[in-house]
Chains A and B, each alone.
Chain A
Amino acid sequence: MIRTRRAPLAAAIGITTVVLLAGCAPGSGQRTGPTETEEITEPVTVEQVAELGDVTLRVWADAGEESMLDALVEQYEDTYDNVTVDVTIKGWDDLMGTVVNAMNGDNAPDVTNGNQGFAIMGTMVKGGMLRPIDDVIAAYGIDEGLPESGFDSMRWNDDGTQWGSGNIYGMGGATQPLGLFYNRAKLEELGLGVPDSIGEVEEALATAKAGGETPIQLGNSDQYPLGSHVLGILINMYADPAEVNEWIAGGADASFDSPGIRAALEKLAEWGEKGYFAAGYDGRSLDDAVSAYGEGDGVFFLGGSFNGSKLAAVDPDAFGYTLLRAESGEYVTTGTFGTPWHISSKSTIQPAAIAFLGMMLSPEFAQTYADSSRLPVADLEGVTATGSMHQSQLDAAQALFADGEFVGYLDWATPTMQRTLGAGAQELLGGRMSVDEFVESVQSDWSDYQTERTG
């Protein structure tokens, strides 16, 4: 006779045995396959969408897109009145944690935000979850006037194991280059001009420190953005962009151990030692740091242009933004066409999804992005800025699109890179890790993943 106390254990063992004996490895079950993709050569017409009948277009998006989507959905539903748009908004971490599984499920959203790199976009391409959108880009002329290199991070081989060439699987609406924010009033007080190169930044930092100001505002309690964005900007200054991109993309001979990257790490550690970063930055969140910077604590802030929306909301003219010239003399920065939008390969209402992206990425819609101090890819020159800070961001983005160099985000390199860089940078500045050890830990994370990826 089974004793009651043992019953749950026995049942668990029983179920485990049954599952194991069934012999099916996880992930081997049948799922809804991709629907037939009809390539388009012309923009989708209202009639084509109307033929779908009354349908619901399901959209998953990052919280940063909410205000843009509010405007877009209204305009879209007016134009395509047989479609109801159902938007699900998620915070970034939440979205990144769930989007792949959602897109893999039988009830996948038709349109979604994702992220570049192996962990999200690579997995989705590998699983055949995304509809290639080369035809959409061409039919709508979305690539007109844009630098071809910006599409690199959106292109994947068919297996989803290598990016940089192949079909385009996603496209962003607003570019988000990393750059240098400055507080106009403080620069004036300190008698400084707007720095344009890394050398000028260094001089300004020394002056700011001597003048009793916080040289760089930073909030890194999430182990971000010190090891990713701040280090990224420094790497852009000292390392060869092509080499860095090659490394991020997992090129066979690439290495993190280069003189340029070492110079960047030495510089980061030096800035830490000199006390250029706001005191207690590891105990402060990024949001709190941006708020503090908005309230006037700190001369500079290093980070993504997307932080500008919050600063512009405080005061549209108090701050400025610039890219920096690397040692090569060119503007080099980490950036892309922004957080990518994807169309599900399983969507049964692809014309409606295509029309949605077409409208979102059109020059006519660009001003809506600009109204919340964002940098629309579609019409950087034509939109009206919300103030002088936004204007300086638009100018910077234009300069970058015209003849600057895009570098990928370092954390695209491997799924674990964000932690390796984030934790490593804290240890480097805490004096618990040398530059050698940092380079070694990053490169070993990278090598492990390349072995796994290429099998």
Chain B
Amino acid sequence: MTTAPAVRAMAGRGARRARSGRPGRARSRHYLYLVPGFVLYAVFTLTPLAQTIQYSFYDWDGITEATWAGFDNYVAVVTDPVSRSTFGHSIMFIFFYTVLPTVIGLLIVAVMNRVRIRFLTVFRTVLFLPQILATVVIAVAWRWIFAQDGPINATLELLGLGALSRAWLGDFTTALPAVGLIGTWIMYGLCMVLFIGGVQKIPVELYEAARIDGAGPIREFFSVTLPGLRGEISIALVLTVTNALRNFDIVWNTTSGGPGTSTLVPSYLIYEGAFVTREVGFAAAASVVLTALILVITGAITRLLRVGADR
């Protein structure tokens, strides 16, 4: 354990400094309070992270002794056509998990801001429900909705559009958007709740000023509401992008990556590599790449929106 002595040394230093009467430095001692939390964090997050990075450089079945593989696993993640396509699908999911829910959430907020809605709390709760349902339940419900004999096709038949009916999750062209729309349904409630909370913090005076200046609903939305929600939008984007990229449960419970490999996602390959096909090195390398991708994209989002705020 390398961390404990370091922490002790730091704590000791803090104590000395406090005695020597330099008040600013006494803060070091506060790190002591972080030790229990940090130990948990180190054992359950940092160590597995470090192990995953280590495994990614080996060829390992998870059981017998591993052999050094260098960057072979990373090369495989980047060059294997199926593996590459999974990252493409993830990017597509960002549209359904992030862009659509954010737009829908903003629309709802814009409308709620102009029109007084009765039973607002009830609506808010109902729209937030998808967030608290178990994803397996959601997947089963949507599998039924999208099924050949499900309500979507029944509606199409009623409208005389029977020719369009199909097993939405089993069709090469519609499976990916169909899975994506489930994500939209799960995520827009979260976005909406975040935005409603944010709007209530925007000073009413700003809206009054805008209206006195003759701003219409659209102008008001872009000049007052949208800038005021920058922080909430940033949080919503980070959360939903992360969910889009690590999507596993919905795919697992609806299409298993099919038909063909049309809805396969990186998390699915990682799970398979780690537990089914026993290619632990490849799975670890894919995890590292996925983690890096999530960090880069979410990092870019927060930076972009923060820079905007400084202007």
Contact = CB atoms under 8 A, between A and B. Distances in A.
B29 to A, nearest CB: 14
B63 A221 contact: no
Interface in A1-50: 8, 11-12, 14-16, 18-20, 25-28
B191 to A, nearest CB: 27
A104 B54 contact: no
Given A282-B167, A423-B258, 11 more contacts: A20-B54, A25-B68, A26-B58, A28-B66, A220-B170, A280-B148, A283-B166, A415-B277, A418-B276, A426-B260, A427-B259
Q: Is the interface of A mostly helix, strand, loop or mixed?
A: helix
Contacts of A15: 2, 42, 46-47, 49-50
B276 A123 contact: no
By CB atoms of chain B within 10 A, which of A18, A100, A280, A427 has the most? A280
Contacts of B2: 14-15, 18
Interface of B: 2-3, 41-42, 46-47, 49-51, 53-55, 58, 60-68, 143, 146-149, 166-172, 254-261, 271-272, 275-280
A16 B284 CA distance: 14
A85 B128 CA distance: 45
Nearest to B146: A283
Contacts of B54: 16, 19-20, 26
A96 interface: yes
A14 B38 CA distance: 14
A101 B277 CA distance: 13
Contacts of B277: 119, 415-416
Q: Which 7 A-B pairs have the closest CB atoms?
A: A280-B148, A282-B170, A283-B167, A280-B167, A283-B170, A97-B275, A415-B277
B62 A27 contact: yes
Contacts, number: 144
Interface string A426-438: 1100101100000
Nearest to A416: B277
Interface string A101-118: 100100000000000000
A424 B261 CA distance: 9
Nearest to B140: A285
A222 interface: yes
B172 A283 contact: no
Contacts of B171: 282-283
Contacts of B148: 278-280, 283-284
A26 B66 contact: yes
A56 interface: no
A27 B257 contact: no
